[in-house]
């Protein structure tokens, strides 16, 4: 059982070589790894989960920064496979905070008795496929060796933090913090001068909270965000009970929702903006009224903003005017106005973000006016001067989708390295599940899946069921391997890219984790499936119905 602090009580280590062969190895004990363990174990497999951290939680364990909160409603951002879990767990908020999600995952691990098959403090560094006996060998940092015919890489899509690569960081005399590995015990920012670097979803959540604690906050912003007010709130008394009573309907609606979430989410905040006329035909009075009555939202909800680049430019300018209605200092307001089109990055929602810049203890350092040059022993030097700080807090993002696996030496058939494949071909996979040349290695929400464009949990659960059924099919039929066919992979990825051809998602001014442009040297490619979660599941169902078309089973 958990000790209540989410530490690893209950996990065991295998004692001898004989103990180290399993039917399946799952890498990672976040949302996906826990469900993969539960499901495969229920199917009678001997499963071992290897987890680098000392507890369950994955991304929701590491990203425990101030203000961390989910942007999808709790009752949809939670496991749907168990009516018991749904009824026994009580969410206190519509959009749950990190501590509540971490507690939920600990509850699930205990309730399903998962810890006994999870080995914590175990970082996987190498995985290689032996063609002679169709077995994966998984090696850990401590030199342990595990073998299994199947590996499920439940390694997360946003779990490999980016090294900000700023010269001089090692000379800094103050404290360096990373949002993606924030201290479990927290950090007292009172009386300190703090720099936050990064204004993506993470930075936008951190900044208002840190501003309330720090003596002074410098926000070092390379790209301004489009962010709309969050609908975060506690559930009203009785509200959750009513929802729980209708859980079947809620899940049914979720299953047919384009983004895998039918209720409140960052997606819904941005998507429920239809019904308005084109911005290009709106009069100046109508435009101004829109932002006066609706704030920043009023700049974006016009019908042509995403489809017509000229309307997009008008919207950006109007957005800047809307920000200036909130942020008193005109220079700061101008600095907070994005210089790229709306819609090409992940939607962000916030609690009091723009209002924070009216505080006397907050300074925006717009890096477009002079970039970071170096970190010094006492602060950060930019093209605009030197900022003395005691703490630097990085919220600089992730090597998304592929980073967790390229940091492991994954070798498939003929010793081919997965990192090399993705470096040369870009992030490719078939159905976000398998990569050609890597038999019996299953990805969760890999390239070509709805991942970034959806509620991660919806397709994650679907894929784990798909994988478990596939493994049962292989074992039942006496087959040893399933392997993606290269032509099916190319066709799938071409199709995924065709879906976004000509859209704002490919705009050259949009560098983000969506297209890999946030990682130096990574091939720029958008490989998230945008035709919707239901359609994706349908396509995957059809692959099974047609005898696993696109895969070779041997
Ligand atoms: P992100 O969206 O990639 O943002 C990283 C930020 O750091 C960007 O503002 C980036 O600027 C900046 N940056 C990176 N390197 C820098 C450098 N060397 N110097 C200065 N600035 C630098 O990462 P994230 O904010 O962690 O969010 C990633 C994803 O995680 C989100 O899109 C979302 O899917 C998920 N997330 C969700 C929630 C939620 O549920 N509410 C919360 C947090 C994260 P540029 O834009 O110029 O590159």
pLDDT digits (tens, 9 = 90+) for 132-163: 999 999 999 999 999 999 999 999 999 999 98
- Name the nearest CA neighbour of 104 among 117, 120, 88, 118: 88
Ligand 1 centroid – CA 202 distance (Å): 6
Ligand 1 centroid – CA 71 distance (Å): 14
Tell how strand 348-350 and strand 227-229 pair up.
Answer: parallel
- Please, what is the average pLDDT of the chain? 95
pLDDT value of residue 2: 34
Ligand 1 centroid – CA 200 distance (Å): 4
- Residue 55 is classified by DSSP as S
Is residue 73 within 6 Å of ligand 1 at its C-beta? Answer: no
Tokens representing 33 are 């790894």
pLDDT value of residue 12: 59
Is residue 511 within 6 Å of ligand 1 at its C-beta? Answer: yes
Is residue 203 within 6 Å of ligand 1 at its C-beta? Answer: yes
Tokens representing 239 are 């509200």
Q: Which atom of ligand 1 is nearest to the CA of 511?
A: 48
Tell how strand 124-130 and strand 227-229 pair up.
Answer: unpaired
Is residue 230 within 6 Å of ligand 1 at its C-beta? Answer: no
Model confidence at 74: pLDDT above 90: yes
Contact assessment for residue 354 and residue 344, using Cβ atoms and an 8 Å cutoff: no
Q: Which atom of ligand 1 is nearest to the CA of 222?
A: 47
Confidence of residue 16 (pLDDT cuts 50, 70, 90): low
pLDDT value of residue 13: 65
Counting ligand 1 atoms within 8 A of each CB, the residue from 64, 65, 200, 371 with the most, and so the one to mutate, is 200
d(CA 76, CA 94): 10
Is residue 164 within 6 Å of ligand 1 at its C-beta? Answer: yes
Ligand 1 centroid – CA 481 distance (Å): 38
Ligand 1 centroid – CA 516 distance (Å): 12
User: Which residues, in sequence order, are CB contacts of 339 under 8 Å at separation 6+?
Assistant: 223, 224, 316, 368, 509
Atom 45, ligand 1: which residue's CA is nearest? 223
Taking only the tens place, the pLDDT of each residue in 379-425 is 999 999 999 999 999 999 999 999 999 999 999 999 999 999 999 99
Q: Which atom of ligand 1 is nearest to the CA of 397?
A: 23
Taking only the tens place, the pLDDT of each residue in 514-532 is 999 999 999 999 999 999 9
Taking only the tens place, the pLDDT of each residue in 225-268 is 999 999 999 999 999 999 999 999 999 999 999 999 999 999 88
Taking only the tens place, the pLDDT of each residue in 27-69 is 999 999 999 999 999 999 999 999 999 999 999 999 999 999 9
> CB neighbours (10 Å) of residue 284?
7
């Amino acid at each position: 059982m958990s000790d209540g602090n989410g530490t690893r009580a209950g996990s065991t280590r295998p004692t001898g070589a004989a103990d180290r062969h399993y039917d399946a190895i799952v890498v990672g004990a976040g949302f996906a790894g826990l469900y993969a363990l539960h499901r495969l174990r229920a199917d009678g497999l001997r499963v071992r989960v290897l987890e680098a951290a000392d507890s369950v939680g994955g991304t929701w364990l590491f990203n425990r920064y101030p203000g961390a909160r989910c942007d999808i409603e709790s009752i949809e951002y939670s496991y749907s496979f168990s009516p018991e879990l749904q009824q026994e767990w009580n969410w206190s908020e519509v959009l749950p905070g990190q501590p509540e999600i971490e507690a939920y995952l600990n509850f699930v691990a205990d309730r399903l008795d998962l810890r006994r098959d999870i080995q914590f403090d175990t970082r996987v560094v190498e995985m290689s496929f032996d063609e002679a006996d169709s077995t994966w060998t998984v090696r850990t940092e401590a030199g342990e060796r595990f073998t299994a015919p199947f590996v499920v890489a439940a390694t997360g899509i946003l779990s490999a933090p980016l090294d900000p690569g700023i010269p001089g960081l090692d000379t800094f005399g103050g404290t360096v913090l990373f949002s993606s590995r924030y201290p479990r015990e927290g950090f007292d920012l009172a009386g300190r001068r703090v720099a936050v670097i990064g204004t993506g979803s993470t930075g936008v959540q951190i900044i208002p909270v840190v501003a309330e604690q720090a003596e002074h906050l410098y926000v070092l912003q390379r790209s301004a965000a489009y962010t709309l007010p969050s609908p975060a709130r506690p559930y009203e008394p009785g509200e959750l009970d009513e929802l729980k009573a209708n859980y079947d309907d809620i899940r049914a609606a979720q299953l047919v929702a384009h983004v895998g979430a039918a209720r409140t989410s960052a997606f819904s905040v941005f998507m429920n903006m239809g019904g308005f006329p084109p911005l290009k035909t709106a009069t100046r009075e109508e435009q101004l009224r829109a932002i006066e009555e609706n704030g920043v939202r009023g700049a974006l909800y016009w019908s042509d903003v995403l489809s017509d680049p000229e309307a997009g430019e008008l919207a950006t300018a109007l957005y800047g005017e809307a920000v200036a209605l909130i942020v008193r200092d005109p220079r700061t307001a101008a600095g907070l106005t994005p210089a790229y089109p709306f819609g090409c990055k992940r939607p962000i929602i916030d609690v009091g973000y723009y209002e924070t810049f009216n505080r006397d203890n907050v300074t925006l350092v717009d890096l477009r006016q002079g970039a970071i040059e170096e970190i010094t022993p006492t602060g950060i030097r930019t093209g605009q001067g030197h900022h003395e700080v005691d703490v630097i807090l990085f919220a600089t993002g992730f090597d998304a989708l592929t980073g967790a696996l390229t940091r492991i030496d994954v070798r498939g058939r003929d010793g081919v390295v997965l990192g090399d494949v993705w470096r040369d071909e870009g992030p490719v996979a078939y159905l976000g599940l398998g990569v050609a040349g890597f038999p019996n290695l299953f990805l969760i929400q890999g390239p070509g899946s709805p991942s970034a464009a959806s509620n991660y949990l919806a397709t994650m659960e679907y894929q784990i069921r798909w994988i478990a059924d596939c493994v049962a099919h292989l074992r039942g039929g006496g087959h040893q391997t399933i392997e993606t066919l290269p032509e099916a992979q190319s066709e799938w990825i071409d199709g995924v890219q065709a879906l976004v051809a000509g859209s704002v998602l490919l705009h050259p001014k949009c560098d983000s984790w969506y297209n890999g442009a946030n990682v130096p040297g990574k091939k720029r490619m958008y490989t998230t499936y945008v035709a919707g979660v239901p359609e994706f599941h349908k396509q995957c169902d059809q692959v099974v119905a047609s005898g696993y078309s696109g895969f070779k089973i041997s």
